[in-house]
Chains A and B, each alone.
Chain A
Amino acid sequence: SQKIEQNSEALNIQEGKTATLTCNYTNYSPAYLQWYRQDPGRGPVFLLLIRENEKEKRKERLKVTFDTTLKQSLFHITASQPADSATYLCALDAMDSNYQLIWGAGTKLIIKP
């Protein structure tokens, strides 16, 4: 069966450390994968997109990797800050999903001062 999975447990990280979130998928042929941030009671906000032929993408303190062999994307926040606390969602755009985004359930990230 096809699925996309994120760690459902909250991730607690000390301020200043690097936070790493994982997104795994099975049985999709991805075109690209996106990461979104969602704060409580608000709509998701787009952060980064990485294509299936790209290994790594960076934006300021954010870095995304994409390994189509492992069927995994990692999302890193370096020098984490309490303001980075939110739920982070990955979304896969796959040829076999008619290019509709398939969403992970999200991982809640808590950065402790």
Chain B
Amino acid sequence: DTEVTQTPKHLVMGMTNKKSLKCEQHMGHRAMYWYKQKAKKPPELMFVYSYEKLSINESVPSRFSPECPNSSLLNLHLHALQPEDSALYLCASSQENGNTIYFGEGSWLTVV
């Protein structure tokens, strides 16, 4: 079982909704990540937090807004999404940025 916990596992939202994805890890890792994955594609990096500071934003649209309240928690706030944003959103963590990454089970997002 993964030690990175993501909620919810499934989310259906309309294009005008505001929702959040949540992630928690208790491995003492100092880097946390959000990835987006479409079917039959590799994970696509969205954001990296290192020591609770945003260190990488891979040119992600502003309708995705990350937040790192503390070293164990990572949120992804969603607003005014498009149907093409439907995907599996993966949270991950590592001891340091670039080390072996431990993924959560993912949150399946469907935008209608």
What is the CA–CA distance of A43 and B43 in the complex, to the nearest angstrom?
9
A43 and B106 in contact (CB under 8 A), knowing A34-B100, A100-B98? yes
Indicate if the CB atoms of B105 and A43 lie closer than 8 Å. yes
Given A44-B103, A99-B98, list of 12 further CB < 8 A pairs? A34-B100, A34-B101, A42-B105, A43-B90, A43-B103, A43-B104, A45-B103, A46-B101, A93-B98, A100-B98, A101-B98, A106-B40
Interface residue count on the A side (C-beta < 8 Å): 19
A105 and B42 in contact (CB under 8 A), knowing A46-B100, A100-B48, A100-B56? yes
Residues in A with CB closer than 8 Å to B101 are: 34, 44, 46, 91, 101
Listed in ascending order, the chain B residues whose CB lies under 8 Å from chain A are 2, 4, 40-43, 45, 48, 56, 88, 90, 92, 97-98, 100-106, 108
Indicate if the CB atoms of B106 and A42 lie closer than 8 Å. yes
What is the CA–CA distance of A109 and B85 in the complex, to the nearest angstrom?
28
Residues in B with CB closer than 8 Å to A42 are: 105-106
Listed in ascending order, the chain A residues whose CB lies under 8 Å from chain B are 31, 34, 41-46, 49, 89, 91, 93, 99-101, 103-106
Could you tell me the distance in whole angstroms from the C-beta of B99 to the nearest C-beta in chain A? 8
Residues in A with CB closer than 8 Å to B45 are: 100-101
Residues in B with CB closer than 8 Å to A104 are: 42
What is the CA–CA distance of A104 and B42 in the complex, to the nearest angstrom?
6
What are 5 sample pairs from A and B whose C-beta atoms fall under 8 A apart?
A41-B108, A42-B105, A101-B98, A103-B42, A105-B41
Residues in A with CB closer than 8 Å to B56 are: 100
